[in-house]
Amino acid sequence: MGPMFGFDDTSCDAGHDICQWTYDATGNNSVANAADVLIGRPLTILGLLLLFVVTRWVLHRLIDRLVARAEGGVLPDQLSRFGVRGKAAQDATARDLATQTRRVQRAKTMGDLLKSIVTGLLIAVFGTMVLSELGVDIAPIIASAGIIGIALGFGAQSLVRDFLSGIFMIFEDQYGVGDVVDVGEASGTVEAVSLRVTRLRDLNGTVWYVPNGAIVRVGNMSQNWSRAVVDVNVGYHEDLVRAQRVLREVAHDLWDDEDFKDLVIEEPEVTGVEVFGPESVTLRVLLKTAPMEQWGVARALRQRIKARFDHEGIEIPLPQRVVWHRDEQANARDQRTDSPQQSSARGEEPVES
């Protein structure tokens, strides 16, 4: 039997306490090495296995806590505190349930994936340590693992970046299927979210595939609540106080309308003068709405403002420019009064009277 499992006459290896204690007690190298092979190394391997189990259990518990936090979401659903009622409340509740179900499923999927990754890494580390205890030279294994890691780091760094970004996006619930988002390069409705890529469809129907690692910021326009921002231009000669009063009345009528009571979740606000433009003064109206309802509410409000301004005689000015009209008859008279020498100098034929 070789030295790996046999009992030779060499001295004990450093760090093997059983071997050293046996040698100190007996003074015999063979007995000491036998005790090390039969007792010391099995106990060391057993200790490594116990440490593996404990470490895996602790890390899995941490992952479970992360999954529990991810299931709750970063932004809680708060539509109920705005007093939304009727069909909008039912739709909001259905969306909340769908979002919660989707969030729980994705969090559990990511939790299982992370647990598999952690288990694989622990098996590789502790397996190498066990092989070292059995006398196997692990230097080539470590060198090979280092070379493979460097190769993967250089060759698949974009893939690793996409993968890690996708994990954090899913855990933090930054967006999900059905949300309307702006990710910088593209904006639209999210159709699919994976660990590597996010698929969006914009207003024109174009499908965008955006790698998760290329997303540096996300603007979600459909989480919890939305806001319609309506800018209205009026002429400089108009009474701004009167115009703001009319805007408040129109916005309040929309707020009281039964068709919009469940869509507009707070009293509209007229903030006042926003911009002095070259042809007009800009007034702004803000309406807090249910998620993804801001565009329809804004269109309805603009239509009502146009009708009310026409009734009140408040001008919504158009861009103006000065146009000079050239009179051909006057040009002809000017050419007739010019001398032949002046006409020749301009490259024109004299006009016969």
For position 85, what pLDDT does the model report?
47
What structural domains and CATH numbers belong to the chain?
Answer: 17-138 (no CATH), 169-220 (2.30.30.60), 226-312 (3.30.70.100)
For 73: left if phi > 0, alpha if psi spans -120 to 50, otherwise beta; the answer is: left
Length of the chain: 353
Angstrom distance (rounded) from CA 40 to CA 19 = 7
pTM of the model: 0.55
Instruction: Quote the pLDDT of residue 9.
Output: 45
Buried b (16+ CB within 10 A) or exposed e, 276-308: eeeebbebbbebbbbbbbbeebbebbbebbeee
What is the spatial distance between Cα 244 and Cα 142, in angstroms, rounded to a whole number?
A: 74
Rounded distance between C-alpha atoms, residue 266 and residue 262, angstroms = 10
Contact 228, 287 (CB under 8 A): yes
Q: Which residue reads 């007093």 in tokens? A: 83
CA 153 remoteness from chain centre:
25
Helices marked H in the chain: 17-26, 29-35, 41-72, 86-133, 139-155, 157-172, 240-256, 294-312, 328-337, 340-345
Tens digit of each residue's pLDDT, the chain (353 residues): 344 444 444 455 544 555 556 555 665 566 555 655 566 577 777 888 899 899 999 998 998 888 777 766 554 554 444 444 445 555 555 555 656 666 676 677 677 778 888 888 888 888 888 888 777 777 887 777 777 777 766 667 778 888 888 888 877 778 888 888 999 888 999 888 887 889 999 989 999 999 988 898 888 888 778 899 999 999 999 999 999 999 999 999 999 888 888 888 888 999 989 999 888 999 999 999 888 889 999 999 999 999 999 999 998 887 766 677 666 665 666 666 655 554 444 444 444 44
Output the CA angle 132-135-138, nearest 5 degrees. 45
Whose CA is closest to 63, among 111, 120, 116?
111
Residues facing 192 on adjacent strands: 199
